[in-house]
Amino acid sequence: MTTSPIERAADQFVTALAQWRVERGMTKKQLAARMGFDPSYVSHVEGRRHKPTEDFARRAEAVLGAGGAIWQRFQEYDELRHARGVMHRDPPVPAQWLPPGAGLVVESEVAELAYIGGAYRCRVRRSLYNAGTEAVTRYLVKIAVDRYPNDPSGSNRHHREHPLTFDEMDVHAMAGDGEAAESMKWRVKLDRDAAKELWLLFANERGQFPLYPGERTRIEYAYTVGEEKWGQWFQRAVRLPTRSLTVRLNFPERFEPQVWGVEVSLNAEVPVRSPLERRNEGGRAIFEWSTDQPLLNARYRLEWRFRGTDAPQFDDLAPPEPALPRASHRMRGIGIIQRGSDLLRQRARHFQLPREAPAARETVTRLLSSLAQLEDLHEFSKGVGLAAPQIGIPVAAAVVRPPEREIEPVVLLNPRIVGESSDGDEQYEGCLSFFDYRGLVARPLRIEVEHARFDGARVVTVFERAMARLVGHEIDHLEGRLYVDRMESDAKLVPIAQYQQTGRPWDY
């Protein structure tokens, strides 16, 4: 029996909803409660007894943090539904769903970080709308610094020795516009070496000016952090429903800055979906990135490096032990997810082939494109592999380029190891998601791998020696494992600076 395009689109929406609900470990009743619906409502939608509405789709996307997947499936369904001439449309809802209990909406945010005279000055402007039922009398601001984000122990040590202080931060805040603007008092909520939280109060020595339901205002706050305490990154977290977000970096042009952006959600860390814009003004290089309707709980991070000879050098300020990793910076710069991301510890979803063949082909295309970028950065004499979760796609696909450069990469869809030899060896492995170190890993010399073609047919391929190691490494990624999980408990990682086999194939 055939189904119509609209029925297939509805099925795809329900499938995406159920997959993300299971991924987040929620029952239907738990999800319904988080979304503010009757306990049986999610069950009715997944069972196709109720048609999904725009409000339902937005709430599901916000609660499950699906990176836009649920919302995209709803839009596909909605377009087909209305293309068929259905007269009824769901009543309009706010541009972004307001979670139960939330009162404030950020109608626009502009966050700017400027390097001036050896310090970073952060200035944030937010246009607020009180969509709740109670007057708002304070606004929470969170400030965190991390001098060495790829070296947590070194960063913690550094900030213990050089704690961030409110005195040096010079915090100022205002509410309102023009001549009607009022200074805002602030009160400390949290005071730690590398993290501060403070309440901006809708009050000053002249009195209070609460933001009442239905009213709008603009707040602006600014603070300063010295370059010795601020790492080369600037992150914005979406904690309130937000309609427009702009992030701006302002550096001296002579520093020759290079800037890139990363979007961090609950399940992925990928390059931002639109390019940064750059302009030069008065000897300053200004980088700007904007997005509309950012998802709740999403985080957007801009990172940079300075190439100018008179710019502050990151390495000069690194802790003496251990040395600051740099190779992982390059990997992250082209969109490779780094160790510590939850996505690398989750089992990848298998494709439903041949139905999902177009999605599988698109994923393989993205993997091969990323592989080409990788080979411009590093000489992989041992061969190289890349799994879809490493570029932020939680599906069971990987590509492996053999040590022999003239051989085409191997494509693996839904792979699983079905046999392996009793003979094995130990070799040092690296990982694109943990590229600053190498570790000694034992693996079989021969493996048999069952995997799928795009048409859904299953085949078994035998891999030996280097290819067996490379393929086994990528299948581990698809099962949520890293090579460090296979190392002996007393084995030590070798920093890349001390590794003696770079540029040489494995020895057999």
Residue for token pair 């067996």? 468
What pLDDT is attached to residue 281?
92
What local confidence, expressed as pLDDT, does residue 313 receive? 57
Instruction: Give the catalytic positions in this structure.
Output: 474
Q: Which two tokens stand for residue 238?
A: 């979406």
441-485 pLDDT per residue, tens: 999 999 999 999 999 999 999 999 999 999 999 999 999 999 988
Q: In what order do the strands lie in the sheet with 494-495?
A: 424-429, 437-444, 494-495
pLDDT at position 151, please?
74
Torsion of CA 493, 484, 360, 51, to 10 degrees: -130
pLDDT 10s digits, 79-104? 887 765 444 444 444 444 444 444 78
Predicted local distance difference test score (pLDDT) of residue 31: 85
pLDDT of residue 88: 43
Q: What type of residue is 205?
A: E
Q: How far apart are CA 147 and CA 351, in angstroms?
A: 40
Q: What share of the chain is helix, strand, coil (3-state, %, to 5)?
A: 25, 35, 40
What is the rounded distance in angstroms from the CA atom of residue 370 to the CA atom of residue 335? Answer: 8
- H/E run at residue 399: strand 397-401
Q: Which pLDDT score is estimated for 498? A: 79
Q: Within the chain, which residues score under 70 in pLDDT?
A: 1-3, 83-102, 265-269, 309-310, 312-327, 503
Written as six digits, the tokens of 394 are 């939680």
* pTM above threshold 0.75: no
**CB-neighbour burial class of residue 481 (10 A; exposed 0-12, middle 13-18, buried 19+):** middle
**Token pair 């998601």: residue:** 433
Helix axes of 54-64 and 5-23: crossing angle, nearest 10 degrees: 30
**Closest among 403, 386, 393, 391 to 474, alpha carbons compared:** 386
